[in-house]
Amino acid sequence: MSVNVSVNEPAVKAAAENAAGANTENKEWRPRIVAFCCNWCSYAGADLAGSSRLSYPADVKIIRVPCSCRVNPMFILKAFERGADGVILCGCHPGDCHYSTGNYYTRRRMALLFSMLDYIGVERGRTRVEWVSAAEGARFSAVMNDFVAKITELGENVKVGDLRCKK
Amino acid sequence: MQKVSEKVIARARELMHDGTVSKVVGWKAGEFFYDCEPNVFETEESLKDLVYNRFCGANLSKYMIKNSIASGGEGAGKVLVLLKPCDTYSFNQLLTEHRIDRENVYILGVGCEGMCDIDRIRERGFKGITGVLEADSGNELVITTLYGEGKVNIDDVLLNKCDSCKGKAHKIYDELISDNEDEGPRGDRFEGVRELEAMSPEQRFAFWQAELSKCIRCNACRNACPACSCRKCVFDNNASGIASKANTDSFEEKMFHIIRAFHVAGRCTDCGECTRVCPQGIPLHLFNRKYIKDINDFYGEYAAGEEAGQRGPLISFTEQDIEPGHAVVKGGN
């Protein structure tokens, strides 16, 4: 027996939307966060956080880099362009770089880049640099929890879209 | 200006004639008298087109990369380049980066009293402009038009980059033709940056959105910039994701300008060529000056190109450098 149901009927519409995953009302918005972690300190710190059963939000997507100074400013802008709501860069504490001086360069570059992002109007809370050593699992977890909380507060990153089409 | 101009042209001819130099990198008038463009003069005869006037704003330093390297070889002769005071900073910076073969270059430092912007003259209501002459006295220019004559104050019609001046002193030269005395820097070049910093993030974003949406990605800023001299440019890589034009669903324009400014951060001499050449009138110097101001604030005063062989702020560090989190707050905005 065939049933003629109009697609305009509210129940059907809702079901279709649910099926397509378009119903966002019931879904809590979660931020998308990219974390660049240096192989020698912060990535090991994340490992330690895991093996110590310390939790940090699943919204954080870690990208492992050989050294924090591997992070080209373009990586950060690209992450924003592709929809990241926040970008955090973690490396060894100054003085502890596996390659002796990499993170000192990172520090200068990021100081300038973040200042520039602020200058063009991207909220300053969306970018952060934290130094996390391999022994600081608890710190890694605390930093990530804090950063996710801050980004959740700031909300979705809508500014870093196309200039001509938006607004 | 007139006197300096005559002397410069005569001296260039002389140097070419006696064989000191085999080429002259200077300016020649384009289609209109105010369209002075860089030109390489290779024969004595061609030097009749050499000009030096109020519209020679172009910085010739970058042309010396190709011309100084290519002119190498026995008996090839040197290349004469005419440099205004602010252009010498760019030349020094290129020397620091080993992009210019100093041995092949003969620098004729030319005095400058500020370069004019034809658009600013037009904005003051002049139509059918046929000539711009120095007034006999005072700080004025005589504009001759099809409909008569008028006078303007020079300070009102200078190029954007001449609104603030680094000073009239040449930082490097072999010979100098100038009758200006160095009065030191003039104007506050960070005024525009401070104004933006005082705005709210929303206002700043709206400002840049309005400005950068004009960008047509013609790459003129990159091509004119003396600091943008990489043999292979990241923006020429089609796979970089920031090389296309009119990509309407991305962050490209902003990314392009932030990255371009970042690549020259610490090396930019603030010569102002980017803003001068922009066909859309985007105030690109505000990006570079922001970086310069931040570098000065965070790491101490630094002027790229002040002397050859300096170590730039982004290829050095100290153990006590400011943390990026604090830097954003200290940056003044």
Domain boundaries, chain A: 31-154
Please tell me which of the candidates B213, B265, B287 has its beta carbon nearest to residue A163. Answer: B213
CA–CA min distance A140, chain B (Å): 17
Q: Does A126 touch chain B (CB under 8 A)?
A: no
Q: Region B252-278: what's the mean pLDDT? A: 91
Q: What is the pLDDT of residues B61-82, one digit of tens each?
A: 999 998 887 655 556 778 999 9
* CB within 8 Å: A160 and B202: no
The question of ipTM being above 0.95 is answered as no
Beta carbon pairs, A and B, within 8 Å: 144
Q: Is the four-CA dihedral A94, A95, A101, A102 of positive or negative sign?
A: negative
The confidence band for A26, taking pLDDT boundaries of 50, 70 and 90, is low
What span, in angstroms and rounded, lies between the C-alpha atoms of B197 and B67? 41
Please check the confidence at residue A8 and state whether its pLDDT lies above 70.
no
A74 at interface of B, judged by CB pairs closer than 8 A: yes
Give the residue, B99 or B327, on which the prediction is more confident: B99
* pLDDT at B288 (0 to 100): 96
- For B247, other C-beta atoms within 10 Å of its C-beta total 15
- Select from A79, A62, A74, A159 the least CA-distant residue to A119: A159
Contact state of A163 with B321 under an 8 Å Cβ cutoff:
no
Low-confidence winner among A2-16, A140-154, B122-136 (lowest mean pLDDT): A2-16
Contact assignment for A120 to B291 by CB distance below 8 Å: no
Listed residue (A163, A126, A136, A124) closest to A37, CA to CA:
A136
pLDDT value of residue B326:
82
Is residue B274 predicted with pLDDT exceeding 80? yes
| pLDDT band at residue A10 under the 50/70/90 scheme | low
Question: Cα distance from A24 to chain B (closest Cα, Å)?
Answer: 23
Tokens representing B214 are 């004009």
Distance in angstroms (rounded) separating the CA atoms of residues B171 and B269: 12
pLDDT of the residue at B77: 79
Residue of B nearest to A128 (CA): B325
Q: Catalogue the E-assigned strands of chain B.
A: 21-28, 37-41, 50-51, 78-83, 105-110, 129-134, 140-145, 148-153, 175-177
Q: Evaluate if residue B245 carries a pLDDT over 80.
A: no
- The residue that leads in pLDDT, A166 or A106, is A106
Closest partner residue to B290 (CB to CB) among A74, A116, A127 is: A116
B210-228 residue pLDDT tens:
888 888 888 899 999 999 9
Percent of chain B at pLDDT > 70 equals 93
Task: From B195, B247, B244, B193, select the one nearest B218 (Cα to Cα).
Answer: B244
Q: Write out chain B residues lying below 8 Å of A150, CB-based.
A: none
- State the angle between helix axes of A42-51 and A137-154 in degrees (0 to 180), rounded to the nearest 10: 100
Tell me if A70 sits within 8 A of B283, measured CB to CB. Answer: no
* Nearest by CB: A162 against B241, B249, B327: B249
Check if A128 contacts B (Cβ < 8 Å): yes
Residues B163-180 have a mean pLDDT of 91
At A33-79, the pLDDT tens digits run 999 999 999 999 999 999 999 999 999 999 999 999 999 998 998 88
Q: Which of A75, A120, A143, A147 to mutate to test the interface with B (most CBs of B within 10 A)?
A: A120
Model confidence band, residue B55 (pLDDT cutoffs 50, 70, 90)? very high
Chain B residues with CB under 8 Å of A80 CB are: 251
C-alpha of A166 from chain center: 23
Q: Which residue of A has its CA nearest to B240?
A: A74
Which class does domain A31-154 fall in? alpha beta
Range of lowest pLDDT (A70-74, B23-27, B230-234): B230-234
Cβ contact A90:A68 at 8 Å = yes
Interchain proximity A78–B196, CB inside 8 Å:
no
Contacts of A122 in chain B (CB under 8 A): 201, 205
Within an 8 Å CB–CB cutoff, is residue A129 touching chain B? Answer: yes
Interface mutation target, options B205, B233, B234, B318, chain A, most CBs of A under 10 Å: B205
pLDDT of residue B201 exceeding 60: yes
Give the separation between CA A94 and CA A89, rounded to whole angstroms.
13
d(CA B234, CA B248): 20
Q: How big is the CA angle at B117 (ends B116 and B121), to the nearest 5 degrees?
A: 100
Could you say which DSSP state residue A136 is in? Answer: -
Would residue A129 be called left, alpha or beta, if left means φ above 0 and alpha means ψ between -120 and 50 degrees?
Answer: beta
Q: And the tokens for A48?
A: 């330690």
Nearest to A111 among B201, B249, B322 (CB): B322
DSSP H helical ranges for A7-136: 10-20, 42-51, 73-81, 102-119
Please tell me the predicted confidence (pLDDT) of residue A3: 44
pLDDT of res. B331: 54
Least Cα separation, residue B236 to chain A (angstroms): 15
Kindly give, in sequence order, each residue whose CB lies less than 8 Å from that of residue B271, ignoring residues fewer than 6 positions away.
B59, B61, B86, B87, B89, B90, B161, B226
Cα(B56)–Cα(B26) distance, rounded to whole angstroms? 9
The model carries a pTM of 0.88
pLDDT single digits (tens) B89-121: 999 999 999 999 899 999 999 999 899 999 999
Distance between first and last Cα of chain A: 50
pLDDT at B74: 57
Pairwise CA distance, residues A67 & B245, whole Å: 33
Give pLDDT, residue B333.
46
d(CA B141, CA B135): 5
d(CA B89, CA B304): 7
| CA dihedral sign, ordered A98, A100, A102, A104 | positive
Contact status of A125 with chain B (Cβ, < 8 Å)? no
Cβ B314–A109 below 8 Å, yes or no?
yes
**pLDDT value at residue A11:** 52
Is the per-residue pLDDT at A89 higher than 70? yes
Note the pLDDT of residue A7.
44
pLDDT computed for residue B71 by the predictor: 57
Q: What is the pLDDT of residue B182?
A: 76
Do the chains contact at B248 and A165, CB–CB below 8 Å? yes
- Please report the DSSP string for B278-303 in residue order: -TT---THHHHHHHHHHHHHHH----
Q: A107 and B251 in contact by Cβ < 8 A?
A: no
Q: What is the pLDDT of residue A139?
A: 96
Among B254, B317, B331, beta carbon nearest to A118: B331
Q: Is B281 left (phi over 0), alpha (psi -120 to 50) or beta?
A: left
Average pLDDT, chain B: 89
Among B197, B213, B250, the residue with its CB nearest the CB of A81 is: B250
Once rounded to an integer, what is the mean pLDDT over residues B188-194? 93
**Is the Cα dihedral B147, B152, B158, B163 positive or negative?**
negative
Query: Which residue type occupies A17?
Result: E
Instruction: Find the residue in A nearest to B254 (Cα).
Output: A163
Spans of all domains in chain B: 2-116+166-177, 118-157, 191-330
